[in-house]
């Protein structure tokens, strides 16, 4: 995916997410408001009904009237609230309106009436019956609970889906980068032997004094042959690794002696790196053997040892320590090389992954060695981990089940 396309796609995803959350929030606020005005209408009609049923004040003498028991008014209100499914904490009061400020003549919470029946001055009429709901929010939110939970769940699911989409987009971008790097690496790697073979063949073709001199001719033909062999080796390595032959091929599990596998790997690496002096420190516990396919295990260990030398530009010092503990064999391979940043340590086991910063990139490779080692170790029910500090070296540890455990 092109860089601009990716940015636009990521922006669209984030904007959609923000839009969705905003719409949901607006909807929730509107629903709350609607429910609140419905609630207030219901409360008014309950109060009205209760007031009608509440007895009309009776005259006690010429100057006074009796007003009914407030407990009865409270019971009527409570009954009305219960029937409407709005049982809530409330308070009822009887007030007079003759003064500027209404006076409470009788009040009752749910529990204690301040007075049951009172006789009041006739002039205090008309009277007001007041119902106060103490916590309307909890009742309304309680009624909205199911809808809110469903809404919250759907928002969570959608956020998850959007995050997953973003993750997939990032991954696609990373794969694209890896693909471009691989193409670049392969082209770069293949170009050198092709150029050498081409130059040697051209010299033989155009320079008769070389062609006619048997020693020089043999020398040039040896160069061509050597470069073609190298080319063939590279192509085979890419094909073998990219077709995942090793992740599906049948393993021939047998008892493998770690010492002989390490020695064989070291011998071939000494030949490969004959031009640089590698310091080896090998320490293998007695009887260190694992149940493995020896060919692939050697390949995996070689890949890690090869990297240990390849990524240690100055006087490579490679130490290998093999120990056994609780049914497992541990092979720790340590180097004094350039190290791997913590953020890259997981990714180095991915197929075709290469670190593009620092000194790594100037070293040739296809990003397949650790992928191969990781796949092989996993197929043997083992594990491989890396511990590294940038600029100070790396330590790769392979854990494999012991033979006969
Ligand atoms: P490559 O062919 O590129 O070496 P690998 O799969 O073997 O592929 O390694 C992946 C990347 O991990 C390398 O490109 C390199 O950046 C990093 N790496 C692997 N081993 C080491 C090491 N011992 N020290 C530093 N970097 C390493």
pLDDT tens digit string along 291-309?
999 888 998 999 999 999 9
Which residue puts its alpha carbon closest to atom 16 of ligand 1? 355
- What band does 190 get if pLDDT is binned at 50, 70 and 90? confident
**pLDDT of 374 strictly over 60:** yes
Higher pLDDT, 403 or 117: 403
Distance 367 CA to ligand 1 centre (A): 7
pLDDT of residue 340: 95
- What band does 193 get if pLDDT is binned at 50, 70 and 90? confident
Higher pLDDT, 374 or 118: 374
Which residue puts its alpha carbon closest to atom 21 of ligand 1? 307
- Does ligand 1 come within 6 angstroms of the Cβ of 375? no
Please give the model's pTM, rounded to 2 decimal places: 0.57
Token pair for 115: 């007075």
C-alpha pair distances (Å), 111 with each of 74, 90, 95, 107: 10, 10, 19, 11
Atom of ligand 1 nearest to the CA of 367: 8
pLDDT of residue 110: 46
C-alpha pair distances (Å), 272 with each of 62, 215, 265, 267: 123, 26, 11, 9
Distance 250 CA to ligand 1 centre (A): 27
pLDDT of residue 386: 97
- Does ligand 1 come within 6 angstroms of the Cβ of 348? yes
pLDDT of residue 122: 66
Mean model confidence pLDDT for the chain: 84
- What band does 100 get if pLDDT is binned at 50, 70 and 90? low
**pLDDT of 23 strictly over 80:** yes
For residue range 234-286, what is the model confidence (pLDDT) as tens digits?
787 777 666 556 666 778 899 999 999 999 889 888 877 878 889 999 999 98
Name every residue whose Cβ is closer than 8 Å to that of residue 54 and which is 6 or more positions away in sequence. Answer: 68, 72, 73, 76, 129
Burial of 32 (0-12, 13-18, 19+ CB in 10 A): middle
pLDDT of residue 197: 86
- Does ligand 1 come within 6 angstroms of the Cβ of 394? yes
Mean pLDDT calculated for residue range 58-79: 75
**For residues 129 and 119, what is the distance between their CA atoms, to the nearest angstrom?**
16
Counting ligand 1 atoms within 8 A of each CB, the residue from 242, 311, 312 with the most, and so the one to mutate, is: 311
Atom of ligand 1 nearest to the CA of 366: 2
Atom of ligand 1 nearest to the CA of 354: 14
């Amino acid at each position: 995916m092109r860089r601009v396309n990716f940015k636009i796609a990521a922006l669209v995803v984030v904007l959609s997410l923000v839009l969705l959350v905003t719409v949901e929030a607006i909807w929730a606020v509107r629903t709350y408001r609607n429910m609140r005005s419905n609630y207030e209408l219901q409360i008014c009609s309950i109060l009205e009904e209760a007031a009608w049923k509440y007895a009309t004040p009776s005259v006690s003498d010429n100057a006074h009237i009796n007003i009914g028991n407030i407990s009865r008014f409270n019971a009527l209100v409570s009954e009305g609230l219960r029937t409407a499914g709005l049982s809530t904490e409330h308070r009822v009061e009887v007030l007079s309106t003759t003064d500027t400020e209404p006076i409470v003549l009788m009040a009752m919470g749910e529990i204690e009436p301040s007075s049951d029946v009172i006789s009041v001055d006739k002039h205090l009429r008309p009277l007001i019956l007041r119902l106060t709901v103490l916590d309307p929010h909890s009742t309304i939110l309680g009624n909205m609970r199911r809808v809110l939970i469903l809404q919250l769940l759907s928002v969570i699911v959608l956020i998850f889906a959007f995050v997953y989409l973003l993750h997939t987009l990032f991954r696609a971008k990373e794969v694209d980068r890896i693909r471009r790097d691989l193409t670049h690496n392969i082209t770069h790697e293949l170009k050198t032997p092709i150029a050498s073979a081409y130059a040697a063949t051209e010299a033989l073709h155009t320079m008769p004094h070389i062609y006619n001199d048997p020693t020089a001719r043999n020398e040039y033909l040896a160069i061509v042959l050597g470069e073609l062999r190298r080319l063939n080796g590279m192509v085979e390595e890419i094909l073998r690794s990219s077709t995942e032959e090793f992740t599906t091929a049948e393993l021939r599990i047998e008892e493998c002696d770690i010492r002989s596998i390490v020695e064989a790997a070291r011998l071939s690496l000494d030949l490969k790196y004959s031009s640089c002096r590698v310091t080896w420190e090998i320490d293998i516990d007695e009887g260190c053997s694992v149940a493995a396919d020896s060919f692939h295990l050697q390949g995996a260990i070689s890949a890690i040892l090869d990297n240990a030398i390849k990524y240690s530009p100055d006087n490579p010092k490679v130490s290998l320590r093999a120990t056994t503990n609780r049914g497992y064999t541990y092979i720790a391979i340590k180097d004094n090389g350039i190290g791997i940043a913590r953020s890259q340590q997981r990714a180095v086991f991915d197929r075709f992954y290469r670190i593009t910063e620092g000194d790594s990139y100037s070293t040739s490779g296809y990003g397949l060695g650790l992928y191969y080692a990781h796949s092989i170790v996993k197929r043997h029910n083992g594990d491989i981990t890396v511990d590294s500090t940038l600029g100070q070296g790396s330590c790769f540890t392979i854990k494999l089940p012991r033979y006969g455990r």
